[in-house]
Structure 1
Amino acid sequence: MKSFFRTCLPVALWFAVGFATAQETPQTQLQRITLSVGIHQIDTQVALTPEQHQIGLMYRTEMPQGEGMLFVFQNPSQQCFWMKNTVLPLTAAFVADDGSIVNLEDMKPQTTDSHCSLKPVRYVLEMNQGWFTKKGIKPGMKLAGRPFSK
């Protein structure tokens, strides 16, 4: 029995550590930038690649207030988001190239309902649901910071 544990325990631990690392990797390797809207600062993770876009905030059980995720796309187009495998209630801000918020969409967790931009955009900022409302942030207001400061 001892030899079983000596052999299997290290393998099981290696596998568990590898699995935990694999679970964390896409989210922990994201670049971070600071955005602002009015007097409010947002600590933002940036999703640049199609793989990062697909994972987004899936499977996360919490996100601190004042943090968000900015999705950056190559070209402006109508962007549509859904919440499959996302347990956090989020609001998506669809953002024009100049940082102007085009529209805000509250999204219900764990659904495949589409929430789309009203016009072509290259940026989508996801925040905890209610954050924009609590801060008085509405369509037409502008985000500042990279990539909007040119």
Structure 2
Amino acid sequence: MLRSAFFPVFIVLLAAGSILPAGATAGQERLPPPGQAWVIFGPDTVQVEVARTPAEREKGLMFRERLAKGRGMLFVFPDATVRSFWMKDTFVPLDIAYLDSNLRIIDILPMEPQSLDTQPSSGPAMFALEVPMGWFEEVGIAVGAQAKLVFGPG
């Protein structure tokens, strides 16, 4: 009985640990567990929901009517490539930061609500961070800033 209950959990944990490439750097060895996560830029922190699966990444922040200051969504991809986002069915004005595999910001772009225009990254990105529009400018975070990821209990 214990074996049959343990096996699905083991498979999920095994799969979660193998999503990111073998060359992942410290701080991102494994796919983040469900629960709380924070993206930290020096003294500035964003508490994020983590979009880890294709379904979570596809839905993103769609249909939300508000996003509190200091909150956001981190999109985690299995590899670094040029990414492109749009705002279909997203009602909150956002900024998106594309981050490379070393968690360095390569782009910060404004995203207007419900726009079907795509906002591509200028280079390979493994992460995308969406926050309320103006947050990056307000706290003084620019292209080239280095992020740190911290994952908490679910």
* TM-score bracket relative to the smaller structure: 0.7 to 0.9
Asked if 1:42 is matched to 2:39, the reply is no
Residue 77 of structure 2 is matched in structure 1 by 73
Q: What percent identity do the matched residue pairs reach? A: 33
> Residues 18-58 of structure 1: CA distance to partner in whole angstroms, max 9, x if unpaired?
xxxxxxxxxxxx53201210201110110001100111000
> Residues 86-110 of structure 1: CA distance to partner in whole angstroms, max 9, x if unpaired?
0000000000111110010101110
Determine the C-alpha separation between the residues in 2 that align with 1:32 and 1:47.
11
Determine the C-alpha separation between the residues in 1 that align with 2:47 and 2:148.
12
Shift of 1:146: 4.0
Task: Give 1 or 2: higher helix fraction.
Answer: 1
Structure 1 unaligned residues grouped into runs of 5+: 1-29
> Residues 57-113 of structure 1: CA distance to partner in whole angstroms, max 9, x if unpaired?
000001110011000111111100000000000000000111110010101110110
2:149 counterpart SS class = coil
The structure with the largest alpha-carbon Rg is: 1
Asked if 1:92 is matched to 2:96, the reply is yes
Q: Structure 1: which amino acid aligns with 2:118?
A: S
Q: Structure 1: which amino acid aligns with 2:42?
A: G
2:36 counterpart SS class = strand
Q: 2:133 aligns with which of 124, 129, 132?
A: 129
Q: Structure 1: which amino acid aligns with 2:68?
A: P
Determine the C-alpha separation between the residues in 2 that align with 1:124 and 1:143.
12
Residue 18 of structure 2 is matched in structure 1 by none
Residue 138 of structure 1 is matched in structure 2 by 142
Query: What's the TM-score, normalizing by structure 1?
Result: 0.76
Structure 2 unaligned residues grouped into runs of 5+: 1-33
Determine the C-alpha separation between the residues in 2 that align with 1:89 and 1:34.
21
2:91 counterpart SS class = coil
**Number of equivalences:** 118
Q: Structure 2: which amino acid aligns with 1:55?
A: K
Determine the C-alpha separation between the residues in 2 that align with 1:31 and 1:120.
27
Q: 2:113 aligns with which of 109, 126, 147?
A: 109
Which stretches of structure 1, 4 residues or more, deviate above 4 A after TM superposition?
Answer: none
Determine the C-alpha separation between the residues in 2 that align with 1:83 and 1:104.
15
Q: Structure 2: which amino acid aligns with 1:52?
A: E
RMSD: 1.2
